[in-house]
Structure 1
Amino acid sequence: MSPDRLPFTSLFIDGTWRPSSTGATFPVHAPSSTTPVGTAASASPPDCAAAIAAAARAFPAWESTPLSSRRDVFLRAADRLAAGARRGAVVAAAAAETGATAELTGAMHDLQAHYLRDVAALGATLRGETFPSSVPGGQAFAHRRAFGVVLAIAPWNAPFNLTIRAFAVPIMWAEECPRVQAMTVEIFEEAGLPKGVLNFLPVSKEDSPARVAEMIAHPLVRKVNFCGGARVGSIIAQEAAKYLKPCVMELGGKTPAVVLADADIPRAARAITSSALMNAGQVCMSTERVIVHKDVEAALIQELTQLFKQVKIGDPERDPSAVLSGLFTQASAERVVELMKDAVASGAQVVTGDLTRQEGVIQPHILRDVKPGMALWEKESFGPVIVFAVANTEAVDLANASEYSLSASLWTRDVYLAHRIGARIRANCVNINGPTVHAEWQRSMGGLGGMSGYGHFDVEDWTQSRLLVLHPEQEHPYPVVSLLE
């Protein structure tokens, strides 16, 4: 397609789609290639300042809007998603910009209608409390209020649903997949979200570090929301720390699946395969480490090997036998291969796979005898690979031998054992007899510190508890002044 026919993604500031104030643009490329699939406006410093100012102007009216009216905006957006008018366009844009399969993007699209209805219902849970003041005759009122302008940065690996999740805050950022994220903005624009409440700022890769730092430093930005890798999350957190601004960080995972001796092995193998290979392993909750009891190791490896060998990764549009797309960049694929080769050099054994890549495509891999201290155990691979560790009584210790704490799964038929062991696994969400790629909307995913980040995308983290103290009508003696009487 000629450059002048490529889709163009604009900025969205104060309710208006517009180009960058400087006319700057950046190309959007297909994954693992230099093929252009679109062009986007690149936000300038004045554009960022205008978006923040628009959000600040919109904030007082939006905060005072009745919860029922805010709920209705979300419900109208959910209805538009459920109608599916944009489903095909979202699937096509995600395939072009991120390489995601139609099955994955379609499923994520369909789930968002339910998610938005759930979010709309959260308004009914926004409650304060009142209690007697420590001043005799006084009364204290604790209530929850919004922060104000928030900077939200959404990732590329699940751009549609994770961008919508970021709608709890009014400013979003896009770099790798602006067209997909712009579609989420359009849905809320059509649903009647007032202008200025949500602003959308694509920016080039070269300019994004400076723009992010400038926006974090802006005095009207009250909080920062980032979902992505730990390296960038650490940089953003350090910038926010300069101004003592709070953050919510959902970062990476090195998710363990703990399989005990009494587990349903075929079912566990299916769940592990799904969670390990979904989106070619490019999910923060992807199963990366399998910690299995020695008595069922052979059976589980056999089941997983059969399943992994049936999954072909490639270009589904060119090769109908490929069920998954490759990694986002060739550099990502090269890094995954190097991690596996390093593990093999340190004593790990390859169960399935050939330690090679074809550009950004790596076929599913299983490695055994990978131990703490090896890079493949310590670092998030973000690729289609799992590592095996055999355990007897130290399964929990191995599961917790990681700086990541996002998700986990535990496989056992003994419900009492599940509760005892599951409570000891250091993860935000432990799925008993279920896949690691799962979380409950009532308590959104988040890390427990370290490389998985901290905070949640929920009412508690996105509102502030403020206190009003009503002093009694009868005046009490005041220190200092009472000495003068």
Structure 2
Amino acid sequence: MAKEYKVPFVLEKPELLKFDAFVNNEWVQSKTGARFEVIDPGTDTAWASCPIFTAEDVPQVVETAQAAFQKFARTSPRQRAEWLTKWDGLIKEHKMDIAKILTHEAGKPIGEAAREVDFSTASLLWFAGEAERIEGTVATTSFPPGRRAFTIKQPIGVTVGLIPWNFPIGMFLRKISPALAAGCPMIVKPSPETPLSTLALAYLAAKAGFPPGVITVLTTDLDNTPSLSEALCRHPLVRKVTFTGSTRVGKIIAAHCAQGVKKVTLELGGNSPYIVFDDANLSQAATSLMMVKWINAGQACISANRIYVQSGVYEKFAEIIKEQTGKIVVGHGSVPNTTMGPLTSPRGLVKVINQIDDATKLGAKVILGGHRVLGNPGYFIEPTILKDMTTEMLISREESFAPVLALYKFETEEEVTELANDTSMGLASYVFTKNVDRIWRMFENLEAGMVGLNSV
């Protein structure tokens, strides 16, 4: 007899809650019939289950998507844009229901979950507009002379999206929107921690009119995630893979795709420096830091990890941040006044406690927090601020993905530039200064894909 679960919330549209995988616009089980549990990280309680898909399921699923591709690739760009636009409208209509689902599988506060829905739908409208702007090129050849070379862009085929748990709605819509606009189906594998918000969006996509087989969502547990992902990446009918996650796993995905010389897009880990110079507007720098550090309890790839503050304002800035951080309300995401929820998984809790212990043993001072939240069964840790950090500490080298703010003191621009660039994870950097010349130097000298200048 199947285990029964109690859903800990009420939706205005209960049909949004789906507990099976989405294949060919149908809700299906895996071949084995096995299931895994979805845990509320705020209570450490299972409240749903989903099918465990394995590598054995992949061939049939990919062939279904390939059959859909043959028809979907020939639909007009206008039609694809209309489906994307209608999907956008349906998601916005049911925003708070989707946010409730997200809160109970990812842990983030309900207001933060709703904002994720808001910013995520921007991808749908953007690529709905881009669908009709897919253009080729015309060039005059050098040899032989008098000829023209034409280039046209065509849908590449079946794509795969491997989605992380920290922003499951944002990453799903960001990855699938361009694929659909271009005429390509996508098979999405959500993280085991957060499958239900993705399934809710798939339900609305079918309501928006997307044909069967164009959008597929395969769920699986943590143990089967590597083998299922590998089978998807290596299937010969899969032509493009997109992955967001750790650098370690990204290397594995790249190796799988290399075997078939597939196109692959990777957004990997970050160890972002946040630099505050003596002449910065400290209020502005502090307010921005509060946003980019504590969002989703620090579980964001662009989160500020290493906070470098010039010596002249180091102590003052530390006090400002301590005062503002002390106002954070930690609790279950469904409680209205909560401003920071739990970590999404117990693995993250173990990692951050290890990082804090390592830093304090090597001389860092805890000026706020530093412990688990007592008396709560969820994966909660206090917002933590560490001072007097040094380069040999784990946080200096690892992505924290937790609510830990690490403060480093520096003296010169040259010194902090070298420190900021001393990472293999150059995803984002942030600089706060009122010196215009310095702004341009830092913009050019920081080795990061994104650089925030007096902004985040």
Under a length normalisation based on structure 1, what TM-score does the superposition of the two structures give? 0.84
Q: Does 1:242 align with 2:259?
A: yes
Letter in 2 for 1:404: M
1:300-351: CA deviation from partner (whole Å, max 9, x where unpaired) = 1111111111113232556x66421111123311211111111121222223
2:369 corresponding residue in structure 1: 353
Give the 3-state SS of the residue equivalent to 1:241 in structure 2. helix
Indicate conservation of the 8 Å contact 2:162/2:188, yes or no: yes
- Would the alpha carbon gap of residues 428 and 125 (structure 1) be closer, same or farther in structure 2, given more than 3 Å must change? farther
- Would the alpha carbon gap of residues 304 and 33 (structure 1) be closer, same or farther in structure 2, given more than 3 Å must change? same
1:274 corresponding residue in structure 2: 291
Q: Does 1:382 align with 2:397?
A: no
Letter in 2 for 1:249: L
Structure 1 runs, 4 residues or longer, greater than 3 Å off: 4-8, 44-47, 354-359
Q: Does 1:161 align with 2:174?
A: no
Give the 3-state SS of the residue equivalent to 1:9 in structure 2. coil
Give the 3-state SS of the residue equivalent to 1:324 in structure 2. coil
Taking the aligned partners of 2:26 and 2:379, their CA distance within structure 1 comes to: 37
2:13 corresponding residue in structure 1: none
Taking the aligned partners of 1:409 and 1:345, their CA distance within structure 2 comes to: 28
Give the 3-state SS of the residue equivalent to 2:301 in structure 1. coil
2:139 corresponding residue in structure 1: 131
1:214 corresponding residue in structure 2: 231
Q: Does 1:16 align with 2:26?
A: yes
1:100-158: CA deviation from partner (whole Å, max 9, x where unpaired) = 21011101112233331112122344222111222233221123233211111111111
Identity of aligned residues (%): 26
1:144 corresponding residue in structure 2: 153
Letter in 1 for 2:387: R
Q: Does 1:405 align with 2:423?
A: no
Aligned counterparts, 1:78-227, within 5 A = 78-82=88-92, 84=93, 86-133=94-141, 134-167=143-176, 168-169=178-179, 170-174=186-190, 175-227=192-244
Indicate conservation of the 8 Å contact 2:103/2:333, yes or no: no
For the pair shown, the structure with the greater C-alpha radius of gyration is 1
1:63 corresponding residue in structure 2: 73
1:11-38: CA deviation from partner (whole Å, max 9, x where unpaired) = 2112222222332222212227652111
Taking the aligned partners of 2:386 and 2:343, their CA distance within structure 1 comes to: 19
Indicate conservation of the 8 Å contact 1:264/1:411, yes or no: yes
Q: Does 1:344 align with 2:363?
A: no
Q: Does 1:258 align with 2:267?
A: no
Aligned counterparts, 1:286-325, within 5 A = 286-317=303-334, 322-325=338-341
Residue 166 (structure 1) shift: 2.2
Aligned counterparts, 1:321-332, within 5 A = 322-332=338-348
Taking the aligned partners of 1:279 and 1:49, their CA distance within structure 2 comes to: 36
Residue 46 (structure 1) shift: 4.8
Letter in 1 for 2:174: R
Letter in 1 for 2:426: S
1:396 corresponding residue in structure 2: 417
- Would the alpha carbon gap of residues 385 and 132 (structure 1) be closer, same or farther in structure 2, given more than 3 Å must change? same
Unmatched 5+ stretches in structure 1 = 436-485
Letter in 1 for 2:330: I
Taking the aligned partners of 2:69 and 2:304, their CA distance within structure 1 comes to: 40
Residue 180 (structure 1) shift: 0.6
Residue 280 (structure 1) shift: 0.6
Indicate conservation of the 8 Å contact 2:6/2:47, yes or no: no
Taking the aligned partners of 1:417 and 1:145, their CA distance within structure 2 comes to: 44
Indicate conservation of the 8 Å contact 1:78/1:112, yes or no: no
1:44-95: CA deviation from partner (whole Å, max 9, x where unpaired) = 445322221122112232222222221111111122223x2x2232122112
Give the 3-state SS of the residue equivalent to 2:319 in structure 1. helix
Taking the aligned partners of 2:368 and 2:283, their CA distance within structure 1 comes to: 18
Taking the aligned partners of 1:112 and 1:314, their CA distance within structure 2 comes to: 24
Residue 243 (structure 1) shift: 2.9
Aligned residue-pair number: 431
- Would the alpha carbon gap of residues 192 and 363 (structure 1) be closer, same or farther in structure 2, given more than 3 Å must change? same
Indicate conservation of the 8 Å contact 1:81/1:110, yes or no: no
- Provide the aligned C-alpha RMSD in A: 2.0
Unmatched 5+ stretches in structure 2 = 8-16, 180-185
1:253-274: CA deviation from partner (whole Å, max 9, x where unpaired) = 1111111221110111011012
Residue 224 (structure 1) shift: 1.5
2:58 corresponding residue in structure 1: 48
Taking the aligned partners of 1:204 and 1:353, their CA distance within structure 2 comes to: 33
- Would the alpha carbon gap of residues 45 and 350 (structure 1) be closer, same or farther in structure 2, given more than 3 Å must change? closer
Taking the aligned partners of 1:32 and 1:43, their CA distance within structure 2 comes to: 26
1:371 corresponding residue in structure 2: 390
Q: Which residue, 432, 443, 446 being the options, matches 1:422?
A: 443
